[in-house]
Amino acid sequence: MGKYFPQALRDRKETELLQLRQGKTKLEEYERKFEQLSRYAPHLVDIEAKKARRFELGLRPEIGGIMASHQFTTYRCVLQTAQAISNRLEMDQIPQQGTELSGKRKWNGSNEGKGEGQNKKINFGSSFGQAIPPCQKCNKMHSGECLFGKHVCYRCGKTGHIIKNCKENPLKKNDEQEKKGNARIFALTQEQTT
């Protein structure tokens, strides 16, 4: 043992075991590393309760904090409980990620060096020069019903595709409006009303 595995190397592996933390690694990876380093420092994990405690001390705080209220005496119980907690935490994070991905991406960069509102379109929705206020749902300026979050095409209003894959002719809508005729507004002055 002394010839092929010098004391200095054993001491270094023992220190690694004492400082081993799960961090952001998966539980399986942490377990594999723990088992590997345990071979080099058997005196630290020679009793089942010591091994269980040493493993528990290296777990991530959100897993170790839950497990701290229990007094595990076997390594196997600690490992099974940690795996169950880890699986649950992963399941709880999936819906949160799903909601972040729905809708459009958010801009996280800075706007330094760019003109404010440089790429913004101003939508004057009426002939009287009144600007349409931004929609409270999507924060864009448009008229009519807001389709944000309804998972429909913004051009044709049908589900199953988005506007860039829409096969509807964009001019078709305008043609239908022309067939119906243009709407006319008649304004009367006060003198004409009397």
Looking at residue 19, what is its pLDDT? 94
The pLDDT score that the predictor gives to residue 83 is: 92
Average confidence (pLDDT) per 10 residues, the chain, 194 residues: 79 92 92 92 90 92 87 90 90 64 55 50 47 74 75 80 78 56 66 68
Domain ranges of the chain: 7-101, 132-168
CA distance 74 to 29: 20
Q: CA nearest 121: which of 136, 104, 142?
A: 142
φ/ψ bin of 144: left (φ > 0), alpha (ψ from -120 to 50), beta (otherwise) = left
Q: How far apart are CA 18 and CA 147, in angstroms?
A: 56
